[in-house]
Structure 1
Amino acid sequence: MPEAATARAAHATVGDSEFDRDTAVTPREPGVYDTDLSAGWTVFDAVNGGYLLALLGRALGHALPHPHPFTVTAHYLTASRPGPAVIRTQQVRTGRTLSTGQASLLQYDDEGREVERIRVLASYGDLAALPDDVRTTAEPPAIPPLERCLGPEDGPVPLSGSSPITDRLRVRLDPATVGWAVGAPSGRGEMRAWFGLADGRDPDPLALLLAVDALPPTAFELGLTGWVPTVELTVHVRALPAPGPLRVSITTRNLAGGFLEEDAEVWDTRDRLVAQSRQLARVRLG
């Protein structure tokens, strides 16, 4: 995004930002929503999985009586393309503190046939109503101060095809996890970064669904390159995030048979663990 445009958009608010506009859904009939997948959230010409999860999360937020995602599990069935889509939702169960629903995002192929892209099962509740007691052994990731971390402009050359989503995010990577960018991957399968939206919008639960899948793949630090498509992604949202940049830490311990797992933690400016996720992703070897 040009510097002048970034400055103009520096104070976007929740509900009035590019992210909100690009995840908007329009009711067609009860439980059915029309939407448009924006080309601005693509990586290597593929629509980003975290963006898609946030879009489905918004639709379920309209369809269910509780406001916030607590746990969301998505299976990515076919590659989504920028353009029109329809989301069909269904209430599975409604309780006093949690409601559960499912949603499918569908598009039409070149022959006009309906194709399911993603199927989600999720439980929603009210994060603001949770007790504030915390008993944990988890600790925030050790990331250098934001000003000492690296953005896309610090790389030797931009990643081909990655610019659309990069322009919409404010990601500053821990220098210890960017060896891949200069041809010297660490081999540790780690990625850590400060994360925010480029227009300054503060995080909310839907932005957390984006954050867990918005960093470069850990496969890059394992010495692999290219697209790493998500097969399944489960996110647990633990708290309403405080304003300001998030810290995201992602690790991979096992790559076998062309698949790897990515475990992510998201921490807010109050040093609270606000989201966790695990995904299974496919890696193109050789």
Structure 2
Amino acid sequence: MTERTAAETAPTPDGTRYELDRDTTCVARPDAPGVLDTTLSADWAFGMGVNGGYLLALAARALGTSLAQPDPFTITAHYPTASRPGPAEVRTEVLRAGRTLATGTARIVQDGETRVHVTGTYGDLDALDPEVRTSARPPEFPSLAECAANGALPAAFRRNAFMHRSEQLLDPATVRWAVGEPSGRGEIRAWWRLADGRDPDPLALLLAVDSLAPTAFDLGMRGWVPTVELTVHVRARPVPGWLRVSLRTRNAAGGFLEEDGEVWDAAGRLVAQSRQLARAPRQRQA
């Protein structure tokens, strides 16, 4: 495992050190309360549109500027139309402002069309009761070194700009689809972190659950897998270090599939859970 160089962790040209912070920046319009201008970066585009996890993180950051509570606890995005890189606006609305929870909506609008519609409830992760009672256990992963040696992404993925925004070391048991040998279990697991050295936080968790290859690939399906709806529950603030991301599909039917996700931090805590509904790709492996 190589350490990041000084160049890799240097500030971006506009002075913002980290890409996710730079590319989720929104500027409020002084003459239009609740409306913020932004630019959807081409660095987060994949396939036929901009990545849904990045869009969710951008909308969540914008919504957070309107709410009194700092952290998304539960947030749901619907994607009625594909987004493209370029100028956009985010329109936010506060639905309820309580003492411990606040709820609001955010819409990413481009060319007069709603690209993403988000509803979120925010609170303060640092104020949560520290007691944990759970039967959930972290997934068993090979070591970072073993995954780095045997779980490399295919070259076609590495050529995509979005895949350079994070480091992904796939569990070798869930990467055989890349050589035409899908397991049929519908599972993808990986060690994950942002490539520029940014520590994980709630916004990064929203991105992480939608950053790996689609689990449809492990079912023997290939092609575009557009997200219809994505819900993320943020359960705790992650500590610095690699995250373990585990995604699984159990039911592909009627042209749609679900994808359940878990994210575990370096302290072995379950910090995020997700559920996604997506269109299944039409192409199947031979």
Say yes or no: TM over 0.5.
yes
Alignment of 1:63-142 (within 5 A): 63-108=66-111, 114-142=112-140
TM superposition shift of 1:150: 3.9
Cα 1:82–1:161 change in 2 (3 A) is farther
Unpaired runs of at least 5, structure 2: none
Distance in 2 between residues matched to 1:229 and 1:85, nearest whole Å: 20
State the partner residue of 2:226: 229
Do residues 196 (structure 1) and 197 (structure 2) align? Answer: no
Contact 1:44 1:160 in 2 (8 A): no
Greater mean alpha carbon deviation, residues 22-31 or residues 91-100: 22-31
Q: Which runs of 5+ in 1 are unaligned?
A: 109-113
SS at match of 1:89: strand
1:22 to 2:19 alignment:
no
Q: Look up the match of 1:217.
A: 214
Matched to 2:193, the amino acid is: G
Distance 2:164 2:103 in 1: 34
TM-score, normalised to structure 1, is 0.92
The match for 1:187 is 184
Label 1:73 to 1:226 Cα distance change in 2 as closer, same or farther (>3 A): same
Is 1:177 matched up with 2:180?
no
Shift of 1:283: 1.1
Cα distance change on mapping 1:284 and 1:246 into 2, 3 Å: same
Name the SS of the counterpart of 1:159 in structure 2.
helix
The amino acid that maps onto 1:9 is E
Amino acid at match of 1:48: N
Instruction: Give 1:222's aligned amino acid.
Output: L
- Write the distance in 1 (CA, Å) between the matches of 2:117 and 2:149: 33
- Do the aligned partners of residues 84 and 152 (structure 1) sit closer, same or farther apart at CA in structure 2, a change above 3 Å counting? farther
Taking the aligned partners of 1:89 and 1:195, their CA distance within structure 2 comes to: 30
Aligned to 1:250: 247
Amino acid at match of 2:122: Y
- Counterpart CA distance in 1 for 2:104 and 2:244 is 29
How far off its partner does 1:285 sit? 1.9
Matched residue SS, 1:213: coil
Cα distance in structure 1, aligned partners of 2:131 and 2:11: 31
Inter-partner Cα distance in structure 2 for 1:68 and 1:12: 25
**Higher relative contact order (Cα pairs below 8 Å, separated by 6+ residues):** 1
Deviations 1:107-153 (A, max 9, x none): 01xxxxx1110111100000011111000000001111111114899
What amino acid is aligned across from residue 240 of structure 2 in structure 1?
P
For normalisation by structure 2, the TM-score amounts to: 0.92
Greater than 2 Å deviation, 4+ residue runs: 3-7, 9-13, 150-155
What's 2:236 paired with?
A: 239
The answer on whether the counterparts of 1:105 and 1:118 sit within 8 Å (CA) in structure 2 is: yes
Q: Is the contact made by 1:99 and 1:123 (CA closer than 8 Å) also made in structure 2?
A: yes
Query: 1:153 & 1:43 partners in 2: Cα distance?
Result: 21
Q: What secondary structure sits across from 1:103 in the alignment?
A: strand
Aligned residues of 2:152 and 2:170 also touching (Cα < 8 A):
no
Q: CA deviation digits over 1:227-284, x for unaligned, max 9?
A: 1000011100000000001000000000001100000000000100000000100012
Instruction: State the shift of 1:12 in Å.
Output: 7.1
Residue-pair matches, total = 277
Q: Matched residues, percent identical? A: 60
